[in-house]
Amino acid sequence: RKLPPGSLGIPVIGQSIGLLRAMRTNTGEKWVRERARKYGPISKLTLFGKPTVFIHGQAANKFVFHGDGSMVANKQTSSVRAILGDRNLLELGDQDHKRVRDSFMSFLRPESLKQYVGKMDGEVREHIELHWQGKEKVSVLPLMKILTFNIICSLLFGVEERAEREKFLKNFQEMIEGMWSIPVKLPFTRYNRSLRASSRVQSMLKELVQKKKVKLEQCAATPHQDLITCLLSKRNEGNERAVTDKEILHNIMLVMVAGHDTSSVLITFMLRLLSKNPAVYEAVLQEQEDIARSKNSGEPLAWEDLARMKYTWRVAMETLRMVPPIFGGFRLALKDIDYGGYLIPKGWQIFWASNMTHMDEVIFPEPAKFDPARFENQLSVPPYSFIPFGGGPRICPGNEFARIETLVAIHHLVTQYSWELCSDDHYIRDPMPVPSQGLLLRIAPKKQK
Ligand code: HEM
């Protein structure tokens, strides 16, 4: 059996620098498309220290997301593993993955998130008061990062104090800078700085978990107070803790990363696309103003209001199609695999990239056109082609959480402010999409009823 076409390049480094450079000049999508054009549906390369096979298309997505667990595992690159820890969901397989994920879902499923819509509403209002009111210009992405981090701190970690949140945020931001880096541990590397920040974040989190344990023992906290107390309270059939301390720690690290950068990018790029598409903006505004009119002044949004935001969510889906926060990801071949007539050797990484189907004109005609109507009939979207949240048993467990926070944030922003774009229209990937000047908007408050 032969290896896929392509070159592994220089050992360890391979094509990592080329891909990272392309992403930083916003040609990452072009870089993977070019590779697909040159080598076809499967090719080999070296990414982030490991030999890798890049596969793409609907069938490839199905193979990656629904693959047989004995063939493909969800291993991250060694830098991600070293920074986030080896017992987070991305690293766990089979029964361990199911056990921890089930515990997660008992907090993140829609039926339990329903009750937190009002709390998210409070965080968004407070954010606008602190960071938008009285301003003429705002840089959206950094603000949305603050907002989504605060929402996570409040709902998932139960950290309410501003000073404590800020301490977390500072170390956390340094930690994520080296997540997609070549794992070289020298004093000046991004990777090394991230590792040091990761150990600081872990010590802070250990302290937080310990405090929550004590509160639970003293019955001063309830199991559903936040995600951490929920994970601490989960019991198996033998009445033992279902999730270990280490798993709780490593998964909080994961949630900080997975749930903060992603949603902030979605909200930011929605605002960007709304300002470039006036008809879509008008339709969103009308939907949101109708909802605002049906509420009393100051009354928080509720679960039922979100059900009326159908058009706004289609706009979010179209934003996720065109600018997916997660560029792609990795799996690990657990054994030699025959794929498309080639060998994927045991121990190699498998790399997927969402833009390959999101921008495929056969699946999404005129893919460069921003058209939320594509999602009017979601059944018309072929399976394994719209994958901003991944798919299969590892589909993003935070997708409902992200939907709620996005809709609540957009509701308040479009009903309270009008805006125009001041920065140019460029963005890069680092590896998340970052617009020029963080998306600088000139804003003006609307008259409140
Ligand atoms: C717009 C927002 C978001 C996007 C686009 C997004 C995207 C994704 C994607 C693509 C994956 C799958 C990666 C893979 O299969 O390799 C994933 C997994 C994950 N996401 Fe999200 N995510 C978002 C928000 C969130 C939020 C808010 C949370 C937490 C509350 C979260 C927590 C997670 C976790 C824990 C996993 C790992 C799941 C597993 O391996 O079982 N995400 N996300």
Distance CA 444, CA 446 (A): 7
Q: Which two tokens stand for residue 202?
A: 């872990």
Distance of CA 309 to the CA centre of its chain: 21
Q: What is the pLDDT of residues 400-442, one digit of tens each?
A: 999 999 999 999 999 999 999 998 888 998 888 999 999 999 9
The distance of Cα 134 from the centroid of its chain, to the nearest Å, equals 30
Nearest to 421 by CA among 446, 405, 409, 438: 438
Per the prediction, the chain carries an average pLDDT of 92
* Spatial CA neighbour of 83 closest among 250, 241, 289: 250
Query: Which of 101, 112, 255, 396 should be mutated for ligand 1, with most atoms under 8 A from CB?
Result: 396
Q: Write down the pLDDT at residue 123.
A: 96
What tens digit of pLDDT does each residue of 106-162 get? 999 999 899 999 999 999 999 999 999 999 999 999 999 999 999 999 999 989 888
In percent, the amount of the chain with pLDDT more than 70 equals 99
Query: How far from each other are the two terminal CA atoms of the chain, in whole angstroms?
Result: 70
What count of Cα atoms within 13 Å lies in the side-chain half-sphere of residue 216?
A: 19
Compute CA 397 distance to the chain's CA centroid, rounded to the nearest angstrom.
10
Ligand 1 centroid distance, CA of 91 (Å): 13
Is CATH 1.10.150.170 what the domain over 16-445 is classified as, yes or no? no
Q: CA–CA separation, 208 vs 11, rounded Å?
A: 41
Please give the pLDDT value at position 384: 95
Structure tokens at 168: 């977390």
What's the ipTM? 0.99
- How many angstroms does the Cα of residue 69 sit away from the middle of ligand 1? 19
Q: What is the pLDDT of residues 30-39, one digit of tens each?
A: 999 999 999 9
| Predicted pLDDT of residue 68 | 72
pLDDT at position 386, please?
97
Whole-number pLDDT of residue 448: 66
**Which stretch, 189-193, 270-274, 444-448, has highest mean pLDDT?**
270-274
* Confidence grade of residue 180 (pLDDT, cut at 50, 70, 90): low
Q: What angle do CA 208, 209, 211 make, to 5 degrees?
A: 65
**357-377 mean pLDDT:** 96
The Cα 205–Cα 443 span in angstroms is 37
H helices of 277-326, in order, are 278-293, 303-307, 310-322
Prior bond to 345 cis, omega within 30? no
* Alpha-carbon distances of 212 from 118, 206, 245, 428, rounded to whole Å: 23, 10, 12, 40
Reduced to 3 states (helix: H, G, I; strand: E, B; else coil), residue 388 is: coil
Alpha carbon nearest to ligand 1 atom 15, residue? 390
DSSP for 340-384? TTEEE-TT-EEEEETHHHHT-TTTSSSTTS--GGGGSSGGGSPTT
Q: Is 396 annotated to bind ligand?
A: yes
- Residue 185 pLDDT greater than 60, yes or no: yes
Model pLDDT for residues 266-324, shown as the tens digit of each residue: 999 999 999 999 999 999 999 999 999 999 989 999 999 999 999 999 999 999 999 99
Global pTM reads 0.93
Report domain extents, the chain.
Answer: 16-445
Residue 2, amino acid:
K
Q: Which residues have any ligand 1 atom within 6 Å of their CB?
A: 74, 89-90, 101, 254-255, 258-259, 262-263, 266, 325-326, 329, 388-390, 394, 396-398, 401-402
